[in-house]
Amino acid sequence: MLLRDQILKRVKAMLTRERLPIGVRLWTGEAILGVATPRITLTLNSPSALKLFANPSLSTLAESYLKREIDVEGDIHDIIRLLAPVFQGSNRGRTRGEWFRLFRHSRTSDRRAVRHHYDVSNDFYALWLDQHLVYSCAYFRSSDDSLDLAQEQKLDHLCRKLLLRPGDRLLDIGCGWGALIMRAAEQYGVQCVGVTLSEMQHAYAAEQIAERGLGGRVEVRLQDYRDIPEDQSFDKIVSVGMFEHVGERQLKTYFGKIHRLLKPGGVAMNHGITSTAFGNESMSTGNEFIEKYIFPEGELVHVSKVIEVMAEVGLEVLDVESLRRHYAQTLWHWVTRLEANRGRAKDIVGEEKYRAWHAYLAGFAYAFEQGWDNLYQILVAKPMPDGGIDYPMTRDHVYRV
């Protein structure tokens, strides 16, 4: 009881001293206010929720929300932006070395992790993704762009960077629900192969390919990237939002595979999330929750490490573009769309999983907003023996719409 009183006293002092626009409602019905009219209200449903203030972290905050120990009211942007600084804690995440011991990244464990994340329900993802089910960072030419438009712009941005031309053979590693390979075939005249480990994504993409009459031009496989046969090479290779599943110890295997599959003179694009932490710095707080409930065996590395490994296997970097701010905006679109469909989402996946994804998307949006994580499109080439690369000398073709 004494500890409880001490924590409550600390909470009251913090709210009033900082004049935070946060209201805290206790299980007893008592309210603690930082200002007369708070912008958000945090409800503690039991005394056990006080542990949040005793040892604050974003992971414990998210887990308490998932377990219904707490509830929050208010605009989701206000909720995460006001609560995150209070509960961010001291960033005592696992070091990267400690994470390595958890991530073996065998074919079996990778398949299990991917299916945990993606085989939730196609109907669930359809509630908050765009019309093409693109589950990766969109590209906003204007802050007013709709999510549907921004995702189409992202697909075209990738296709133009890859300089797709009729007759090219394109490999998409981690093709998701197939939006990129279908657009590349329909709009750019490309022959496409996509691979995924998700059974639900594979089934959806195969169905869409058949419905759109693309069977002769687009193939989707349920296959690990390590098992792609190397008897046929590709003019272009793309991987979007997949290498986060690879693991740092497997990066050389991953980029080495891309190098062997790519024709001399060809180009490849890796679009993926990176950490802003160097060396053995602590991971951003919140990762324990993500690892446990959302993204098992996900692992982020610094962009410098990505470029280093690319160079080791013989890939030459042509272009690097940060889309961090684009991803923050994409994630805010996703979480607000999920909120708008909360009833249907709970019917599909249940209360706990809805809360897990709600917290995850909002927290991730804040992480990108704050610069804790970044996202880079890295364009690379496999030079010919004489050093030649089949690619323009300027970026004009990328921005000419």
Task: Label residue 95 by pLDDT band (50, 70, 90).
Answer: very low
Lowest model confidence (mean pLDDT) among 54-68, 107-121, 229-243: 107-121
- Could you tell me the sign of the dihedral formed by the alpha carbons of 184, 186, 190, 195, in that order? positive
Q: Distance between CA atoms of 321 and 337, rounded to whole angstroms?
A: 27
As a whole number, mean pLDDT of residues 219-225 equals: 96
Q: Looking at the predicted structure, is the pLDDT value of residue 88 above 50?
A: yes
Task: Label residue 42 by pLDDT band (50, 70, 90).
Answer: very high
Q: Tens of pLDDT along 295-321?
A: 776 788 999 999 999 999 999 999 999
Beta carbons of 118 and 201 less than 8 angstroms apart: yes
Name all domains of the chain by residue range, CATH numbers in brackets.
Answer: 2-87 (3.30.1050), 100-399 (3.40.50.150)
As a whole number, mean pLDDT of residues 337-360 equals: 95
Reduce the DSSP state of residue 79 to 3 states and report it.
helix
Q: Distance between CA atoms of 190 and 171, rounded to whole angstroms?
A: 10
Q: Tokens 């970097």: give the residue.
A: 317
Which pLDDT does position 99 carry in this prediction?
34
Q: Looking at the predicted structure, is the pLDDT value of residue 91 above 60?
A: no
DSSP letters spanning 160-198: HHTT--TT-EEEEET-TTSHHHHHHHHHH--EEEEEES-
Angle, CA 157 vertex, CA 153 and CA 162 arms, to 5°: 150
Q: Distance between CA atoms of 23 and 46, rounded to whole angstroms?
A: 16
Which pLDDT does position 111 carry in this prediction?
58
Which pLDDT does position 288 carry in this prediction?
78
Q: Select from 348, 316, 393, 368 the least CA-distant residue to 138.
A: 368
Beta carbons of 241 and 271 less than 8 angstroms apart: yes
